[in-house]
Each structure stands twice: as C-alpha cells, then as structure tokens.
Amino acid sequence: MTGGPSRQLRRRGRRAGALGLISCALVIAWVAPLHGSTAHAQAVGGTVLPEIALSIGTPSDFQAVGRGNYELRVPVQVTASVGDVRLSVSDGQDATGAAHGRARDAAGLALAPLSVSVLGEASQSLAAPVDPLLKIWDQPVALAPATIVVRQQLRSSLRTVSPLHKLILISVSSATP
C-alpha cells in the first residue's frame, strides 16, 4: 500500500484508523489509538467452504511394456482445502459379475482384469470387491499431480485383437464431512 493505511482508507471513503489484514480464513483487525485510548488486536473468525477438485488430463494410448503387457497413463491434478482426500478408481460399467474389472472386445472379456495404480506404487486389480484406493493426501493440496497407470495383460498383441474398452471412473473424495 502506498501512502500509509490512513490515506488508503480515506480514498475508499472509510474512516481512517482501521486496517484489516486477511490471511485465509482469519482476519486480524487493528484499531489505531484515538485520543489517549490504547491499541488492541481482535481476531475475527470466518468460514471457508471446503473444496475438492479433480482435473483429468489426456490419457496416453496403450503402450507395450513387455510381452503381452500393456499400459496407459492418465495424468490428474487434485486440489482440496480439506485433509484426508482420497483418489480412487472404479469400474464404471459392471459393478459385479464376470465382467467386473475386465476390458472387453468384440469376442468377449479379456482373461485378466485390468490393474490400476499411481505411478511408482503397487498395482491393484480393478476386479477387486472394493474399489482400489490409489492415494491419500492427509493435508490440503493445490494442483497436486498424480499419474494413474492402467495395465492390461493379454495373450496376443494389440494388433491382432479388436479394440478393447472399459469405462473407468476416477474420483476424489473426503473421509471428513
């Protein structure tokens, strides 16, 4: 601020002598001494609504990563104003049954279920009875990056198989209300 707090406040049409500093959800008010009174600080509270946001980038194509193993990567970013935020995936097509967690093509279901992980972590089966929990942030985050890796094991190469498909839901949630 140029010109000091009194000058700034007068320009805005307010009385000189009060200056508020804002930092997140906490406001500290400073009242300047007037005619022999003493200065005092007073905390003023407020509420910040919780926010959880997920940005999903463009996934790669399936790439061979060894004989009969293929993977694709999905970049994501998570923003949360609360702690205990969870990144998970689920089968968006088949909640139960033989097709749960398995990609399909024109001939039927892939023999092996899809597996998912966050890059660098252990894979979990998408066919598990509980949806895979990939990552937990225990404090607020802003645009925290993660890469979800989806793997498929096949007996033949992708060039000799009709296109595979499976709807996978990526979600973030909070364990605290």
Express each pLDDT in 143-175 by its tens digit.
Answer: 999 999 999 988 765 555 577 888 999 999 987
Residue 140 identity = P
Do the Cβ atoms of 126 and 132 come closer than 8 Å?
yes
pTM above 0.75, yes or no: no
Do the Cβ atoms of 103 and 114 come closer than 8 Å?
yes
Sign, CA torsion 81/82/87/92: negative
**What token pair was written down for 128?**
């598990």
Return d(Cα 77, Cα 57) in angstroms, integer: 8
> Is residue 79 helix, strand or coil?
strand
Return d(Cα 158, Cα 137) in angstroms, integer: 36
- Rounded to an integer, the average pLDDT of 91-119 is 89
Per residue in 121-148, pLDDT tens? 999 999 998 888 999 999 999 999 999 9
- Residue 102 makes CB contacts below 8 A (sequence gap 6+) with 94, 109, 110, 112, 113, 114, 126, 127, 166
pLDDT above 60: residue 9: no
- Rounded to an integer, the average pLDDT of 88-98 is 90
- In angstroms, the Cα distances linking 49 to 11, 20, 24, 45 are 32, 21, 11, 13
pLDDT of residue 78: 95
Return d(Cα 39, Cα 32) in angstroms, integer: 6
Q: Which residue has the higher pLDDT, 34 or 132?
A: 132
Domains of the chain, earliest start first: 4-44 (no CATH), 52-174 (2.60.40)
